[in-house]
Amino acid sequence: MEYTQLGRTGLKVSRLVLGTMNFGPFTHEADSHKIMDAALDAGVNFFDTANMYGGPGNRGRTEEILGTWFAQGGGRRDKTVLATKVYGDMGDPDAPWPNEGRLSALNIRRAAEASLKRLGTDRIDLYQFHHIDRATPWEEIWQAVDVLVQQGKVLYAGSSNFPGWAVARANETAARRSSLGLVSEQCLYNLAERRAEMEVIPAAEAYGLGVIPWSPLQGGLLGGVLRKQREGVRGRSTGRAADQLADPAVRDRVERYEALCADHGLEPGDVGLAWLLTRPGVTGPIVGPRTAEQLDSAVRAVGLELPAELLAALEEVFPGPGPAPEAFAW
């Protein structure tokens, strides 16, 4: 496994991030534990979750599964850089009540305490804002986070799904408070979805944030979906990708992509992950395996060096939008 610094921090994390969103809804607790053990054995030390993961009516279950895994001991917690998130409403959907979600100081404090309890730990290494809260001023958000940092319950703060302007505003406010500010941004980014390159990734680079792409294979679209369809393979990812393939332009690009990968003797999923690891500012993509075998495939991509001619061809198949403002102005 390869490691890198998380943004401008001194924290070393693996160049592959274990996503846990499937733990609970699709992967049972025992199998989830096996996947996390396999990840540590492979050198993956960066685990990502969220307080709302767990499936409909069972929010928080994924954090509980991580908590029971940590409770097994064996250095599991100390070896893991643990990232979770706050924003989603954690109240009873049938009896909604104010202040059970978003980024008020009240909810940040309450949500952090609840996550710590479910995770069975005394600290959250990276506490991420799952979405922007346009109604809460950054002075209030940082006041709440600074208290958690002073208490040792949170070490770093990160964002997720933020536009570039929000990254800038958050960190400018933090600087005025002499706070560390955001150190990472988790965003939708892959070969087929490159809009983050216009402003989000440049903002992250300018402020020293590590970029953590989610959905690195665009919901299975870049994982060899056409070949799987020909072979009769069915699954959640092929079903999601099939909806995207209804667009003839998307299908054409995916056909060219899979042909390129085949010409180089490479698996499409490996190429999609390896490409992200070549991108400026990227710490590591999040992979959400449902089985240990899927994890093995993702780990293989970390050591894959893509030839220059393949990288150039990929740019032709999936061209980026270009930087802002030139992408939409002169």
Q: Which residues are catalytic?
A: 53
Query: Which residues of the chain form beta strands (DSSP E)?
Result: 3-5, 12-14, 17-19, 46-48, 81-86, 124-129, 154-160, 182-188, 210-214, 286-287
Give the integer Cα–Cα distance in Å for 105 and 265.
Answer: 52
Beta bridge partners of 85: 128
Give the integer Cα–Cα distance in Å for 162 and 187.
Answer: 7
Give the integer Cα–Cα distance in Å for 305 and 54.
Answer: 35
Write out the DSSP string of 101-166.
SSS-HHHHHHHHHHHHHHHT-S-EEEEEESS--TTS-HHHHHHHHHHHHHTTSEEEEEEES--HHH
CB 124 within 8 A of CB 154: yes
CB 152 within 8 A of CB 140: no
Q: Are β-strands 12-14 and 3-5 bridged in parallel, bridged antiparallel, or unpaired?
A: antiparallel
CB 91 within 8 A of CB 101: yes
**Look-up of token digits 């190429």:** 271
